[in-house]
Amino acid sequence: MFGQILFAIMALVIVVTSIGVVAVRNPVRSALNLVANFFALAVLYLFLYAQFVAAVQIIVYAGAIMVLFLFTIMLLNLGSPSELSERGEIKRPVTWGLALLFVIVLAGGVFVRLGKAQPAADDLGTVQMVGKFLFTDWVYPFELTSILLLIAIVGAIVMAKRRL
Amino acid sequence: MDAVPISWYLILSAFMFAMGVTGVIIKRNPIVIFMCIELMLNAANLAFLAFARQQAQLGAQAAGQVYAILVMAVAAAEVAIGLGIIVAIYRLRDTINVDEMNLLKF
């Protein structure tokens, strides 16, 4: 019962802040909504026995990536939010309606087909367990990810330099 | 927290994903569009972790969490490159409104 109440609170925070990211006009407020969303999501990861992923979520997403977003917003200094304001057009209500329909259809399918959670192993989600699988079964994707990050670093440097 | 069924997490994930898609379609500020992409990636992560809890073997349960970590690494790389592109475009054109971006090469 306690778990369900806590889940309901976190789900409410996630729903409100997800809508907030899209509905708010000021990009800084969108970013703050996203930070709150990520923190609530980290709590849900703890519920799912993913302690290490929850810690990484807070460090990488709520820390590093959101700082990068806020830095870029401040750097570009877009001034008043009305500069990039959306004109009234048919696209917006249609998109909101389609999103709602998507959620309803998916929710129906999920309720029909899915069972219950399995018992978790004692060390599920710890750093030792995730690290063991990351460096044995998943070492090839892990190395590919490191190459991807290297490419991203080189790309960012190339774009930052005015001329090579 | 075994009292919460997997389907609740998946419906929450579907809602987050739908909000991300909505934002990508209706927003004109590319920075906010990137935030909405982050929202979609996090929805996928939540679904990965929820499905991992449905598996019986430890290897399959761990695979969901490893997937989530790899998705986070890809998201970090994507944000670094994407925000770099936005800053480069702003330097060239003094605006980042996506409606005015109609060329692939300047």
How do residues A126-156 score in pLDDT, each as one tens digit?
889 889 999 999 999 999 999 999 999 998 8
Task: Select the residue of B58, B68, B86 nearest A50 (Cβ to Cβ).
Answer: B68
Q: Do B11 and A96 touch (CB under 8 A)?
A: no
How do residues B86-97 score in pLDDT, each as one tens digit?
888 888 887 777
pLDDT band at A112 (very low <50, low <70, confident <90, very high): low
Q: How far apart are CA A107 and CA A87, in angstroms?
A: 32
Residue B97's pLDDT is: 79
Q: Do A53 and B68 touch (CB under 8 A)?
A: yes
Q: Do A100 and B27 touch (CB under 8 A)?
A: no
Residue A87's pLDDT is: 62
Residue B41's pLDDT is: 95
Rounded to 5, what percent of chain A is helix, strand, coil?
A: 75, 0, 25
**For the CA atoms of B77, A16, A48, B36, what is the dihedral angle to 10 degrees?**
-20
Is B71 exposed, middle or buried, given 0-12, 13-18 or 19+ CB atoms closer than 10 A? middle
Average pLDDT, chain B: 87
pLDDT > 90 in chain A, percent: 38
User: Which helix (DSSP H) or strand (DSSP E) does residue A116 occupy?
Assistant: none
Q: Which residue has the higher pLDDT, B44 or B6?
A: B44
Residue A163 has pLDDT above 70, yes or no: no
ipTM (interface pTM): 0.89
pLDDT band at A75 (very low <50, low <70, confident <90, very high): confident
pLDDT > 90 in chain B, percent: 42
CB of B11 less than 8 A from some CB of A: yes
Q: How far apart are CA A101 and CA A17, in angstroms?
A: 20
Task: Select the residue of B1, B59, B84 nearest A3 (Cβ to Cβ).
Answer: B1
Q: Do B86 and A72 touch (CB under 8 A)?
A: yes
CA atoms within a 13 Å half-sphere pointing along the CA-CB vector of A127: 2
- Smallest CA–CA distance, residue B93 to chain A, in Å, is 12
